Amino acid sequence: MALAALAVGVAFGVAALLREARERAPSGAAVSGAAAETGPAVLSLVPFAGPGDAVSPLPPERYIFTPFRDQHLLPQASLQPGSVKLADLFPRTERLRVMALRSTEGTAAVVLIEQSIGRPWGELLIPAERKIFRSFAADRSLGNWLIVASDVIVLGERDPVPFTVYRWSRDAVEAYADCGISDGDVDRCARQFFRLAQTLMGGLTGFQPSR
Per-residue pLDDT tens digits of the chain, which is 211 residues long? 333 344 444 444 444 433 333 333 333 333 233 333 333 333 333 334 468 999 887 667 789 888 888 888 777 789 999 999 999 999 988 899 999 999 999 999 999 999 887 788 888 999 999 999 999 999 999 999 999 999 888 877 777 788 899 999 999 999 999 999 988 778 999 999 999 999 988 754 333 333 3
> Letter for the amino acid at 16?
A
For 143-171, b where at least 16 C-beta lie within 10 A, e where not — what string?
bbbbbbbbbbbbeeeebeebbbbbbbbbe
Tell me the H-state helices in 76-169: 81-87, 125-138
Q: How many CA atoms lie within 13 A of 35 on its CB side?
A: 30
Long-range contact pairs involving 124-130 (C-beta distance under 8 Å, separation at least 24):
124/93, 124/95, 124/96, 125/96, 125/150, 125/152, 126/184, 127/183, 127/184, 128/90, 128/96, 128/98, 130/181, 130/182, 130/183, 130/184
pLDDT the model gives residue 165: 92
pLDDT the model gives residue 8: 40
Question: Could you give the CA distance from residue 25 to residue 81 in angstroms, rounded to a whole number?
Answer: 18
User: Nearest-CA neighbor of 21 among 11, 33, 6?
Assistant: 33
Secondary structure class of 150 (helix, strand, coil): strand
For the purposes of burial, counting CB atoms within 10 Å of the CB of 71, is it exposed (0-12), middle (13-18) or buried (19 or more)?
middle
pLDDT the model gives residue 30: 30
Question: Could you give the CA distance from residue 22 to residue 30 in angstroms, rounded to a whole number?
Answer: 8
Question: Do 118 and 155 contact (CB within 8 A), yes or no?
Answer: no
pLDDT the model gives residue 203: 56
pLDDT the model gives residue 69: 83
